[in-house]
A = this chain, B = another copy of it.
Amino acid sequence: MTSRAAIDFYFEFSSPYGYIASQLAEDFEKRVGRQLSWRPFLLGPVFKITGQPPLVEIPMKGEYSKRDFLRSARMHHVPYKHPAKFPIGTVAALRAFYWVTDSDPARARKLAKALYKAFFVDDIDISAPATVIEIARGVGVDAAGLAAALEDPAVKERAKKEVDSAIAANVFGSPFFIVDGEPFWGVDRMPMMEQWIKTGGW
């Protein structure tokens, strides 16, 4: 390992593979001895650039994916229930995450995990701000403060800049990792990334 800088971990709250990656994140950090910097973004603006529809809407690939979400979760021993409404908009979750992380990054990570659990385990549609606020309250976030923040143009702009920044870094899918400038797309590339980090690349 030549560097101890954090590894960027980009994910979208409506992404099954992002959720699975989030469940593997802490063991991964321990094994490679480096931290992940959690950076949620939105796939919607990315898909406008890449011209891609949501994965499950692509003919043939969509059916495969729905099967693979379940299979991948089982393989990694991650609880998973495919949400009844999918995909959903996650801008409220995104804004909440960045508002919390600016004062308390550890709590923001807890919030991300709680949001993912609500959506991918308990089948709760997390698109509405009120739902995000309730989930945030459950991990100790000031609910009134968050409710105000979700209406704050500065908070909206803060979140938008993160999405722009992900796009500027060529992040086109979820999960997406960048370690020392090297990009890795997909939960199924985490083993390759681990090998890359441990060997210094090839």
Number of contacting residues on A, CB 8 A? 31
Q: Bound complex: CA of A195 vs CA of B75, how far in Å?
A: 9
Binary interface encoding of chain A residues 143-173 relative to chain B, with 1 for a CB under 8 A from any of its CBs, else 0: 0000000000000000000000001001111
Number of copies: 2
Q: Is A138 an interface residue (CB 8 A)?
A: no
Binary interface encoding of chain A residues 58-69 relative to chain B, with 1 for a CB under 8 A from any of its CBs, else 0: 111101100100
Q: Is A189 an interface residue (CB 8 A)?
A: yes
> Nearest B residue to A167 by beta-carbon distance?
B60
Taking beta carbons and an 8 Å cutoff, which residues of A are in contact with B?
A: 46, 49-53, 58-61, 63-64, 67, 71-72, 74-75, 167, 170-173, 183, 185-186, 188-189, 191-192, 195, 202
